[in-house]
A and B are shown apart, each in its own frame.
Chain A
Amino acid sequence: MKIIDAHAYIGESLFNQPQSVTELLQRMDACGVDTAVLAPNRPKQYALWPANQMVADVTKKYPDRFWGMVRVDPWQGQDALDDLKRAREQLGLRILLLHPWEEQFQIASSNVDPLVEYAARNDMPVMIEAGYPLVSHPLDIAELANRHPQATFIATHGLQLDSAGFALTDADLTMRECKNIIMETSGMIAPETMENLARDLGCERLMFGSHSPWFDLRLEVERVKLLNLPSDQIAMVLGGNIERFIIPSA
């Protein structure tokens, strides 16, 4: 069974969550993760382009272990769109990462639209850092997903970060309303919600990711392995579902 982490950060971090290539490889090897999709941290210098270049360099150096995402800031307008195009065409990065919490925008705001339209036209899934207060609540993500039915979204953290559990209902509703959203599993507190979705909507709507180093890779792998689902479905969640996005364009 191939294990692919769809969501691991790398590089120095403005927000004190750094992770080097060596550290990530050690963590992956310790829990049997074959491949990780790298998300660039926001560097201390704020600029995202050098971080995107660094991710691309690492994926070229370790093609069997890493794939990469491109991260842009919608507040940069045309510059963000230009960077997205450059990253796809010149760096080979095929997943768009939007981080509404660290880039300080609401995920359903209009400045996101050109980026999502470009991603959809070019078969790039859009990963959304989900569940952050006021900027990426599940129904905000639903609003964006309904506006762009041709795009594919990967929403992290089971779409919510709410220790009260109240947002689980909104996450479940969003997944049932929006067929173009895949739920990523990092930090997702409620296994039954994931199991019910896999049963009702199909296991291809669930995807393993760790959000390492914020979350512990060992715990996040186990979170998926412990789901009460058939082993072939667990395998899809742990690796197969992200692989089908990556392999055709790799």
Chain B
Amino acid sequence: MILDSHAHVDVVPALGWYDTAEKLVQRMDQAGIAKAAISGYMNAPGPNPDSLKMIAAAVEKYPDRLIGYARMDPWFDDACIRALEDAVTHLGIRGVKLHPAHYTLFPFGPLTVKLVKRAGELGLPVLFHCGDEIMCLPYQIDRLAAQCPDTTIILAHIGGFFSGEAALNVAARRPNVLVDTSEIPLPDMIRKAVDRLGAEKVLFGTDAPCCDIILEIMKVKLAGLTPDQERLVMSENYAKLMAIPLEKDL
């Protein structure tokens, strides 16, 4: 069983991105992915007032395959937090995605801290785009993580193309910070993450459907992990985080 902690569903013509739930699930089927966490490409609140309903509709269509995350904009302060609470209560949202370069706000500032703390109180992990862009750098998110020790924070892409070592430094020093393997084409960095952090702090992710899921799986296979480490990364860690029963538990 493979669980993908980082995928997307959204159609945004202005960005040229057309990633429907059908397209994602078809690719999950081809690659053998059991479940995937999805977020949109637009923030809520934001220009698409139905962005969270769109995620909920995708989950409703594929309830056994998709897990909904709310991609949010902390600039909206209390309105953002109310939207998140409403999405948890009425739309079945189970995580938060933040892309600070998309809304231009320092991760460690009070607006983001307030939102991330509330996410933790609601039992939601917060997945950050991490690396390659100012506002998304590991040491910036580190200052946030220190203020929100009760929220699980995931640094996507192990810090991107340029900040891998920084992402590992942050995840090593913060008990509440994990990394995901998505996108970055570096099996060796996955190996380093497992060696440095322990396999328990590394989540498999794909960033599909932009990225090829088969390559994303191959990348982990090439990292030279032990079978136990690989199982933790590919499924068990995320199953534990999200209380997803694994086949062996059923």
Contacts and interface: CB of A to CB of B under 8 A. Distances in A.
Contacts of A222: 214-215, 218
Nearest to A220: B185
Nearest to B184: A163
Interface string A207-235: 00000001110111011001000000000
A131 B162 CA distance: 11
A163 B129 contact: yes
Contacts of A192: 210
A247 interface: no
Contact of B219 (A163, A164, A219): A219
Contact residues of A: prevailing secondary structure:
loop
B215 A226 contact: yes
A172 B16 contact: yes
Contacts, number: 73
B157 A163 contact: yes
Interface centre among A162, A189, A191 (most CB of B within 10 A): A189
A187 B189 CA distance: 14
Given A216-B185, A219-B185, A219-B187, A164 B214 contact: no
B183 A216 contact: no
Interface in B187-223: 187-188, 207, 210-212, 214-215, 218-219, 222
Interface centre among B17, B131, B132, B184 (most CB of A within 10 A): B132
A77 interface: no
A164 B218 contact: no
A219 B210 contact: no
13 contacts: A161-B162, A163-B157, A164-B99, A164-B129, A189-B185, A190-B211, A191-B212, A216-B186, A216-B222, A218-B218, A222-B215, A223-B185, A223-B215
Closest 4 pairs (CB-CB, A-B) = A163-B160, A161-B161, A163-B157, A187-B185
Given A163-B184, A165-B17, 12 more contacts: A163-B157, A164-B102, A164-B129, A164-B132, A164-B133, A168-B16, A189-B207, A215-B186, A219-B185, A219-B187, A220-B185, A222-B214
